[in-house]
Amino acid sequence: MAFRPTPVRSLVTGRALHDIVRTATLGSYGVTGFAGGSFSRILARLGLREPGLAVRLDDGIEIELDVMVAMGVPVAEVARQVDSAVRYAIRRALDREISRLLIHVDGLRVHPGGVVPEVPLGRPTEIRSRDLADSGTDVA
């Protein structure tokens, strides 16, 4: 008798999908939390919506994130890390690919006890080696 595999469907709730995305995002380097306006925060307190996190399931999985980044870390690197972590978490948990992932960096957050860097007045006339080192750019 030949064995025919039966197709299997799995059901994932929106809440579970939100939890997967939230955990992957907050576990990423440089992310200090989700951003959101006052309206989003009110909806979050009522349990209706997660501020800074929107997941839509139409033809594919569409995710939109509004994150806050720690002051002093390269923003582009944080965005790449979040992208990679979220895509990996969804691929591993659901064995599906994300069709669209938008990451908005809504602001920078200074850690408690941290010092906000001073912005020099006027335009610098020359670039010093210390300026390149402070910018976070890889310099050989």
CATH classification at residue 104: 3.30.70.1350
Is residue 82 a contact partner of residue 28, using CB atoms and an 8 Å limit?
A: yes
- Number of structural domains the chain divides into: 1
In a domain, 95, yes or no: yes
Nearest CA among 38, 92, 89, 37 for reference residue 63: 89
User: Whose CA is closest to 103, among 38, 28, 49, 43?
Assistant: 28
Hey, what's the torsion of the CAs at 91, 33, 100, 8, to 10 degrees?
Answer: 30
| Model confidence pLDDT, tens digit, residues 18-76 | 899 999 999 999 998 888 766 666 766 776 666 788 888 888 899 999 999 998 889 99
Is 7 part of a structural domain of the chain?
A: no
d(CA 82, CA 68): 12
Whether 31 is in a domain gets the answer: yes
Q: Identify whether 8 is part of a domain.
A: no
Give just the sign of the alpha carbon dihedral 104, 19, 84, 62.
Answer: negative
Residue 72 covered by a domain:
yes
Is 104 inside a domain boundary?
yes
Question: Is 138 a domain residue?
Answer: no
pLDDT digits (tens, 9 = 90+) for 22-38: 999 999 999 988 887 66
- Give residue 67's domain range: 14-111
pTM of the model: 0.68
